[in-house]
Chains A and B, each alone.
Chain A
């Protein structure tokens, strides 16, 4: 169990680091988007590269940030019955849900989205817009993001199992994310 917990901590560390980068991308995207609109108005300066950079950052934010969001237990649930369960039962729901839903589905989606990236990579795809960005690297966020999410799922399973076996105490309390 101890070795598993070390693995889990390693995964948590990795995804937290990646999450920190994603956090920062929010600010960068805001500044790029506002700057782009302002310079277009006053100086007629704008390019598709800057426009595309915005949704590239968005895609990274979403696909790579989802694992850290999972780590923080902030994916929204329909909690009407979930909240009536005891803490142990909630852990069981999470354990089975992650094993049966999250991990298989993320691996499947990673597998399905791989050709999307690989074909694009092989032809060295670029944006169809004039002055756009190179396209294939951003397609990589799909398979990579799903794999990271599955990894985070493994970490969550380890933590829940360890908590159920009484090895560690974890704070798995769920609160609805503020929106």
Chain B
């Protein structure tokens, strides 16, 4: 029996849906499907047996030896430490007291802290859990509407994945073959608009239904005046330092995104030690000396030269960091925290990267049987031209997000539609910005995958840590308006590409080039849209 080549891609696509719904782990189901169709294609003579050799070469070349994917364990580890290091507590408590007396104040504080934490870490789980543990009981105590409470916490935790240095953006940049720096720059606009939307919704609610977001009575403040400000600063200063360590070093070209993740993880450990009551007196002194040395070193480096003094100063700083890390292992509680952190990180990393390995098996064969051409044909024949294409893709991802999480979407779907998006979107925003715009748009869209009832991750975490009196239905219904706000943001990004591209065209061009030199581009093999070919060598 012969199967025409035209029929192979739709068969594979249909098979993909069926095999995933069985419920066996995605990574292995995908790989199996890829190989089954690979064998079928060999039998039908669409490519030779040697073609399958390309799969391990590609797993090694663009998955295992991929520097950017190394960011996955680093950011996950950092998130695991930060979740429990006390930073979120400090900020939520102080901001809550600061804004509490206005109507909706606790909501604003959650939104702001969510944004700040988002600019430090790259993972959603840590943030939703940490914020919900602290803020939920407080908001419920002061009579906030349960649904609003659940929604604002889930949405403000989820925004992490849009605010740089988000892991999603790194993965998207990798899969679309763009530089992470550009992706980050592009994401700032939408992430700021997004929190403005959230705050706007809270404000509207405080006018329409004031009893949903009541003001906290002034007497409830435990701190006022200077102690309150001091507490605010205690949360903000370490955050600012961490933001610099992660984002600043990356944007200045001092570190690659991967290294920035690693430094963030070390920074999180230092922060956890600082917050711990068992932090020794000697350690505190060394810490202060380290900070002073770092200040001196930086000043010398900027105003004089990177001379001996600069080197000595930084040697002292690094010694202090090393000392504090050693101290982290001496405190039993922190040692356990770190151990749990790297254990769960390892399993998550293996799981995520195996999805990519499975999808590599699938996509090599899919493209080998001209699946790219089929998909392009289908997507470009959507009525409405470019806008029709964008709306279709976004609806598609929105519905897919009910079943798949973002890693699966990014690894399975993106390699297929990336090249098509490049072609279709280039006329609108130019060749360079096309995939950045597209990637950020999908990133905004994929926020909803954390928020969809009943499978959304953020809701799931919320369920896990919420007090008993919060009903599941409250969490599900509460999430809906916020999913709506996220979709409004998707529409805005589609309608106004400038929200993403204004930074790319702007005066920051100089910085951008610097970043581009520093960040090693990933060697994704070119995605082959033509007839089957054997060449999967690295792209130029």
Q: Which residue of A is nearest B126, CB measured?
A: A178
Q: Is the C-beta of A55 less than 8 angstroms from some C-beta in chain B?
A: yes
A108 to B70 Cα, complex, angstroms: 26
* Interfacial residues of chain A within 13-55, with CB under 8 A of chain B in the complex: 19, 22-27, 29-34, 36-39, 41-43, 51, 54-55
Which of A23, A69, A83, A109 is close to B351, meaning CB atoms less than 8 Å apart?
A: A69
- Chain A residues closer than 8 Å to B73, beta-carbon distance: 26, 29-30, 58, 61
Q: Which residue of B is nearest A60, CB measured?
A: B64
Q: Is the C-beta of B217 less than 8 angstroms from some C-beta in chain A?
A: no
A9 to B457 Cα, complex, angstroms: 33
A80 to B262 Cα, complex, angstroms: 35
- Chain B residues closer than 8 Å to A75, beta-carbon distance: 25-28, 351, 354
Contact between B348 and A93, CB atoms less than 8 A apart: no
- Chain B residues closer than 8 Å to A63, beta-carbon distance: 64
A105 and B32 contact, Cβ closer than 8 Å, known pairs A61-B73, A113-B59: yes
Q: Is the C-beta of A94 less than 8 angstroms from some C-beta in chain B?
A: yes
Q: Is the C-beta of B315 less than 8 angstroms from some C-beta in chain A?
A: yes
- Chain A residues closer than 8 Å to B445, beta-carbon distance: none
Contact between B70 and A41, CB atoms less than 8 A apart: no
- Chain B residues closer than 8 Å to A142, beta-carbon distance: 56, 59-60, 64
A11 to B404 Cα, complex, angstroms: 31
A41 to B69 Cα, complex, angstroms: 23
A26 and B31 contact, Cβ closer than 8 Å, known pairs A55-B67, A77-B24: no
- Chain B residues closer than 8 Å to A169, beta-carbon distance: none
- Nearest Cβ distance between residue A146 and chain B, in whole angstroms? 9
- Chain B residues closer than 8 Å to A139, beta-carbon distance: 60
Contact between A97 and B318, CB atoms less than 8 A apart: no
* Interfacial residues of chain B within 308-334, with CB under 8 A of chain A in the complex: 310-311, 314-315, 318, 321, 325
Q: Is the C-beta of A164 less than 8 angstroms from some C-beta in chain B?
A: no
Q: Is the C-beta of B148 less than 8 angstroms from some C-beta in chain A?
A: no
Chain A interface, DSSP helix/strand/loop, else mixed:
helix
Chain B interface, DSSP helix/strand/loop, else mixed:
helix
Proximity bits, A66-84, B CB within 8 Å = 1, else 0: 1011101011111111110
A45 to B407 Cα, complex, angstroms: 35
Q: Which residue of B is nearest A100, CB measured?
A: B32
- Chain A residues closer than 8 Å to B321, beta-carbon distance: 38
- Nearest Cβ distance between residue B501 and chain A, in whole angstroms? 30
Most buried by A among B74, B321, B339: B74
Q: Is the C-beta of B12 less than 8 angstroms from some C-beta in chain A?
A: no
Which of A38, A58, A179 is close to B123, meaning CB atoms less than 8 Å apart?
A: A179
Q: Is the C-beta of B53 less than 8 angstroms from some C-beta in chain A?
A: yes
A55 and B26 contact, Cβ closer than 8 Å, known pairs A66-B354, A113-B56, A177-B351: no
A101 and B354 contact, Cβ closer than 8 Å, known pairs A38-B263, A55-B64, A76-B408: no
Q: Is the C-beta of B265 less than 8 angstroms from some C-beta in chain A?
A: yes
Q: Is the C-beta of A141 less than 8 angstroms from some C-beta in chain B?
A: yes
- Chain A residues closer than 8 Å to B338, beta-carbon distance: 27
Most buried by A among B20, B325, B352: B352
- Chain B residues closer than 8 Å to A77, beta-carbon distance: 23-26
- Nearest Cβ distance between residue B273 and chain A, in whole angstroms? 15
Contact between A26 and B258, CB atoms less than 8 A apart: no
Contact between B404 and A37, CB atoms less than 8 A apart: no
Contact between B76 and A179, CB atoms less than 8 A apart: yes
- Chain A residues closer than 8 Å to B266, beta-carbon distance: 30-31, 34
A76 and B405 contact, Cβ closer than 8 Å, known pairs A26-B345, A26-B346, A177-B348: yes
Q: Which residue of B is nearest A32, CB measured?
A: B262
Q: Is the C-beta of A4 less than 8 angstroms from some C-beta in chain B?
A: no
Q: Is the C-beta of A85 less than 8 angstroms from some C-beta in chain B?
A: yes
Contact between A66 and B350, CB atoms less than 8 A apart: yes
Contact between A55 and B311, CB atoms less than 8 A apart: no
A138 to B351 Cα, complex, angstroms: 20
Contact between A179 and B125, CB atoms less than 8 A apart: yes
- Nearest Cβ distance between residue B300 and chain A, in whole angstroms? 11
A37 and B263 contact, Cβ closer than 8 Å, known pairs A42-B315, A102-B28: yes
- Chain B residues closer than 8 Å to A29, beta-carbon distance: 70, 73-74, 262
Q: Is the C-beta of A6 less than 8 angstroms from some C-beta in chain B?
A: no
Which of A30, A70, A112 is close to B53, meaning CB atoms less than 8 Å apart?
A: A112
A102 to B358 Cα, complex, angstroms: 11
- Nearest Cβ distance between residue B364 and chain A, in whole angstroms? 11
- Chain A residues closer than 8 Å to B352, beta-carbon distance: 179
A83 to B345 Cα, complex, angstroms: 25
* Other 14 A-B pairs with CB < 8 A, given A37-B255, A72-B347: A26-B349, A34-B265, A38-B321, A42-B311, A55-B66, A55-B67, A62-B63, A62-B353, A62-B354, A68-B350, A76-B407, A82-B22, A101-B32, A113-B60
**A–B Cβ pairs within 8 angstroms, 25 of them:** A26-B77, A27-B77, A29-B74, A29-B262, A37-B263, A62-B64, A62-B353, A63-B64, A66-B350, A69-B350, A69-B354, A75-B27, A76-B25, A78-B20, A78-B21, A82-B23, A94-B24, A97-B29, A101-B28, A104-B32, A116-B56, A176-B457, A177-B351, A179-B124, A179-B125
Q: In the A-B complex, list the 7 residue pairs whose CB atoms are closest, starting with the nearest.
A: A82-B23, A97-B24, A33-B262, A113-B56, A75-B25, A42-B314, A37-B259
